[in-house]
Every structure is written in structure tokens, then in C-alpha cells.
Amino acid sequence: MVSSSATAPRSGVYYFSQGWKLIRLPGIRRFVILPLLVNIVLMGSAFWWLFTQLDSWIPSLMSRVPDWLQWLSYLLWPVAIISVLLVFGYFFSTIANWIAAPFSGLLAEQLEARLTGATPPDVGVFGIMKDIPRILKREWQKLAWYLPRAVVLLILYFIPGIGQTVAPVLWFLFSAWMMAIQYCDYPFDNHKVPFATMRESLRTRKTINMQFGALTSLFTMIPVLNLVILPVAICGATAMWVDCYRDKHAMWK
């Protein structure tokens, strides 16, 4: 399977679906295992705990609905549940991404070589260790960009009316964009493309990235499927990098 940047870019739905196929490629599966294990342990434990708490959290959130919106309560209940799942899913997927970041970058690097027909970089413990400071610095950059925006959106949840109607929609759109940034960043970072440059590049194909990020966000809320979403999203984002961005930014080390 060889791809190239000459290939016309497809939709974000296409790249997300490709991720499910690419994790099963012979020679790539072994690089999927560690990010997959991190995600299974963390997301599995987190969502098990979350579902034990929903019975108390949802009524508390719904108690903030003003009287004039009570007639919409039957619609706001599912919105409240989805909001909790979105916030919770993104929070713990971020933690999983931090822990698995060195292995995620390695997976993106190996898959890119496979898709382009290049010689895969040598893999070794020393190679992974020397990249950890750079990778963690990049994760801090993403967190610093994300936190102020997330805090503003979370504050909206505590405003009666807005918190149960507008805030969930804004949070979903923001999560979709952040998921695109999170997973597309691995191949960009492998080529040492600055974080700001990467964001500018993603904005040039915003529709594709929002589609990809929205599907990733949705799957982080689905039990069982959310356990494997980390390597799937990395593989899909790497395929997008190869088709859409590699010609302009690639500079193999």
C-alpha cells in the first residue's frame, strides 16, 4: 500500500475509515500495540467509573435548567449526557495521548514510511528515548493552546439555559477541531514542523479536519470502540498527512 501527496485529498470520513484498515497492516500492527494498551487501560477504567457516577451527575446538571426551559427537559436530558461524555472523553483521551505520545509518534513515523514506500526509520529504545523531551514539549504546547479555550467553554456550562443548549454544541465543535490537531500533530511533529505552522496548515483544509475530528470525538464516547480509537485516529491522520501536507512540509531526518 503506497500513497503519495499527489493523491487528491478525500473527506475526513474517508481518512477516519482508513485508520481502521491501516491498524491491521502487517508490520504496522506491532507499533499499534503499545498505544492501544495505554488507551484500553486508561479509557476503560475512566469510563467504567464515569458510568457509575452518571446517576448523580446528570440530575445535578439538569437542576440548573431555568423554569422557562423545563418544557424541553425531555430533549435536554440526552444533551446533558452527551455533554458529560464529550468533556470526560476528551479529558481522558488527552491523558492517554500524553502517556502514549512517544509510541504514537513512532506509529505515525512507521506508517508514513509504509504509505510512501520509504525505508522505515531504525527503531530502538535509544531512538525513542532521545525524542521524548521534544515530544513532551509539543504536548505542553498543545495543552497550553487548549486549556484557556476549554476553561471558557466549561464556564458556559454553569450559565442557566446556555449551559444546557449552546455550550454542548460549542464544546463538540471545539473538541472536533482539537482532535484533528491532536492526531494530525504526530506526523507534523515527526518532521519538526512548528506547532503554529501545523495549525495554519490544518486551517487550509478545515472541512476535512472537522469531519475527521468530529468522528473521532464521537467514537471517544462509545464504549468498547473508544478503547481502540487512539491508534485508529493516528493512522487516519497519518494517511491525511501523506495525501494533503507531506509535499509542502516533509523533511525526513
Q: Say if residue 66's pLDDT is above 90.
A: no
Q: pLDDT tens digits for 155-206?
A: 887 787 676 678 888 888 998 999 999 999 999 998 989 999 999 999 999 9
11-28 confidence digits (pLDDT tens): 999 999 999 999 999 888
Look up the pTM and report it: 0.78
Q: How many CA atoms lie within 13 A of 96 on its CB side?
A: 32
70 belongs to a structural domain: no
Residue with cell 500533530: 185
User: Across all residues in the chain, what is the average pLDDT?
Assistant: 80
pLDDT of residue 4: 45
Number of domains in the chain: 1
Average pLDDT over residues 111-122: 83
The larger pLDDT score, comparing residue 227 to residue 90, is at 227
- Asked whether residue 3 is assigned to any structural domain, the reply reads no
| Per-residue pLDDT, 206 | 93
Whether residue 60 is contained in a domain is answered as no
User: Cα(137)–Cα(236) distance, rounded to whole angstroms?
Assistant: 23
On whether residue 231 sits in a domain, the answer given is: yes
Q: Residues 105-116: what's their mean pLDDT?
A: 91
Residue 5 lies in a domain: no
Residue 189 belongs to a domain: yes
- At residue 215, does pLDDT exceed 70? yes
Quote the pLDDT of residue 204. 93
- Residue 202 grid cell: 490544518
Alpha helices in the chain (DSSP H): 12-22, 29-62, 73-116, 125-156, 166-190, 195-203, 206-220, 229-244, 246-249
Residue 239 lies in a domain: yes
Q: pLDDT by residue (tens digit) across 129-154?
A: 677 788 888 988 998 998 899 888 88
- For residue 12, tell me if it sits in a domain: no
What is the rounded distance in angstroms from the CA atom of residue 60 to the CA atom of residue 200? 40
The boundaries of the domain holding residue 22 are 17-54+76-249
- 70 pLDDT band, cuts 50/70/90, is low
